[in-house]
Amino acid sequence: MGFEQLASLKDQLAKQAKQAQQAKQAQKAAVKPPPAPPVAKKKTEPVDPVVLTIGQLQKRFPKVFPKSPAPKIALKLGVHKDLLAQAQTLGLTEQALLDAIKTWCRGTRYWAAIVEGAVRVDLAGEEAGRVLPTEAARARSLEANRHRKTPPKKAHAKAPKEVKSAQEVSVAHDATAAPDLNAQPQAEVQLQTQASREEVRVAQDAAREEVKVVEGAAREAVKTAE
């Protein structure tokens, strides 16, 4: 076999080897499973910003804002003012703090802490007053009202109105501190209105009688002069 024949045979064998390799690669590609479809990300509902703010307060003041199921403790009256003074340090807006305090101090866990003689604490966890009997009674009243039958809430019910001022929170942060004068039963309001009307009527009758007496005395004086 000549040199040219050997070279030709070598080229032929190289081509066959190349073709075999390509066929093998094509076969692997044919049996390769298709890529899995991308996993759809689960939609997560946005977290209430009030909840996030309370979480930050629990990290910063763990003794004052204990995590559930630990019982809550009675807070110093006006504690929201102390928080507002630290708003910049805490990295929170004043409105966020007001909303958080109003939410924290409303509900069974907090009302359960408002018992007569219970210690109120400041942000340092130090004693800052005691719960008065009237405040404890108010807490019991709020809890009783909470358990009364109420109509079912609609799914699209509006969210509670936003706290507008620190003055509102001063009352809302511990609703047991003073009775709600605007929450009188309707029957009581009606009785008060009727009593007021009766007082006016009696006063008017008395005035008429007095005028009659004065007029009678004047007539008698005229007759005597004549």
CATH number of the domain where residue 127 is located = 1.10.1710.10
| Interval 102-131 mean pLDDT | 93
Are 99 and 189 members of one domain? Answer: no
Looking at the structure, do residues 77 and 170 belong to the same domain, yes or no? yes
Q: What does pLDDT average to over the chain?
A: 74
Q: Which helix (H) or strand (E) holds 128?
A: strand 127-130
Residue 83 CB-density burial (10 A; 0-12 exposed, 13-18 middle, 19+ buried): buried
For residues 71-92, average pLDDT: 93
Residue 184 binned pLDDT confidence (cut-offs 50, 70, 90): very low
Asked if residues 159 and 99 have their Cβ atoms less than 8 Å apart, the reply is: no
Calculate mean pLDDT across residues 216-225: 58
pLDDT of 41 > 90? The answer is no
More confident residue, 120 or 204: 120
Judge whether 106 lies within some domain: yes
Q: Are both 111 and 199 inside the same structural domain?
A: no
Question: Which of 108, 102, 67 lies closest to 83 in space, CA to CA?
Answer: 102
Q: Are residues 169 and 211 in the same domain?
A: no
Residues 140 and 212 in one domain: no
Mean pLDDT for the stretch of residues 84-89? 93
The CA distance from 107 to 24, in Å, is: 72
The answer to whether residue 89 is domain-embedded is: yes
CA angle (124, 126, 128) in 5-degree steps: 115
How sure is the predictor about 56, in pLDDT bands with cuts at 50, 70 and 90? very high
- Is the pLDDT confidence value at 54 over 50? yes
Question: pLDDT > 70: what percent of the chain?
Answer: 57
Percentage of the chain exceeding pLDDT 90:
38
Give the model's pLDDT for residue 17.
78
Nearest alpha carbon to residue 134 among 174, 76, 75, 104: 174
CA distance 173 to 169: 5
Based on the domain organization, do 94 and 204 belong to the same domain? Answer: no
Assigned domain for 152 exists:
no
Up-side HSE of residue 202: CA atoms within 13 Å toward CB?
6
Asked if the structure places residue 9 within a domain, the reply is no
CA distance 86 to 66: 19
Give the model confidence (pLDDT) of 121-179 as tens digits. 999 999 999 999 999 999 999 888 877 755 555 554 444 444 445 555 554 555 555 44
Residue 20 inside a domain? The answer is: no
Encode pLDDT of 6-36 as tens digits: 667 777 777 777 777 877 777 766 666 667 7
Tell whether 157 is covered by a domain: no
pLDDT above 70: residue 209: no
226 and 201 in one domain? yes
Q: How many domains is the chain partitioned into structurally? A: 2
Say if residue 188 is in the same domain as residue 97: no
- State the Cα–Cα distance between residues 215 and 25, nearest whole angstrom: 129
Domain interval for residue 113: 49-147+163-180
For the entire predicted model, the pTM comes to 0.51
